[in-house]
Amino acid sequence: MDKSRLLLHACCGPCATVCVERLLPEYDVTLLWYNSNLYPSEEHQRRLEATRVVAEHFGVEMLEVAPDPANWRDAVSIVEDWQRQPEGGSRCKLCLTLRITRTALEAAQRGFDYFNTSLSVSPHKDADFIQRMLWATAGENPPAQTEAINFRKQGGFQRSIELSKELGLYRQDYCGCRYSQPKL
């Protein structure tokens, strides 16, 4: 029997590793690269290249959406003091929502059975909020459905580190946008 097709938003190569490993036994997985939050452009390229390595390693396809920093800024700058907010605040919720919403749209338009995101792997992210957004965006984009798996559970983050080391992947030391850079 054919496997269900699942579109997995990849926030970076390391986080994508454990998600693809867990999903592949049950799903026909395609990665989606859409991360307009990343700054500067060299960082965007490094994370994109690491994610391509993951796609090649597991033998899965990858759709790449060109970054649109202006669109990201429009989406996250609607809250007061957005540039000074700590990680996990309102700016981040809007950033996560933007990427999950686009994934749901792409899944619906391209005829995937399911979608999900690797964003829940990182212990710095609000997994409950991500789960709620996955369900909400699936409801807004029928027939897209979500397998809202929390990939951090069952040692998901540790496994992502192991696999990243095995594959020699670049592992970033900040979340991704200009305002999360360590020295700002």
Question: Is position 176 an interface residue for ligand SF4 (rule: CB under 6 A)?
Answer: yes
Question: Is position 177 an interface residue for ligand SF4 (rule: CB under 6 A)?
Answer: yes
Smallest separation, CB 15 to ligand SF4 (Å): 12
Question: Is position 175 an interface residue for ligand SF4 (rule: CB under 6 A)?
Answer: yes
Question: Is position 91 an interface residue for ligand SF4 (rule: CB under 6 A)?
Answer: yes
- Going by the DSSP 8-state scheme, the letter that residue 44 receives in this structure is H
Smallest separation, CB 26 to ligand SF4 (Å): 28
- Going by the DSSP 8-state scheme, the letter that residue 147 receives in this structure is -
Question: Is position 11 an interface residue for ligand SF4 (rule: CB under 6 A)?
Answer: no
Smallest separation, CB 74 to ligand SF4 (Å): 13
156 half-sphere exposure, CB direction, 13 A CA radius: 21
> Do 53 and 167 form a contact (C-beta atoms < 8 A)?
yes
Contacting residues for 43 by C-beta, under 8 A, at least 6 apart: 172, 176
Smallest separation, CB 95 to ligand SF4 (Å): 3
**Residue 4 buriedness (CB in 10 A; 0-12 / 13-18 / 19+):** middle
Q: Which listed range, 18-26, 58-66, 89-97, 156-164, lies at the site for ligand SF4 (CB under 6 A)?
A: 89-97
CA-based max dimension of the chain = 52
Of 7, 29, 54, 92, the residue at the interface with ligand SF4 (CB under 6 A) is 92
Nearest to 119 by CA among 176, 165, 72: 176
Residues 51-80 that bind ligand SF4 (CB under 6 A): 76
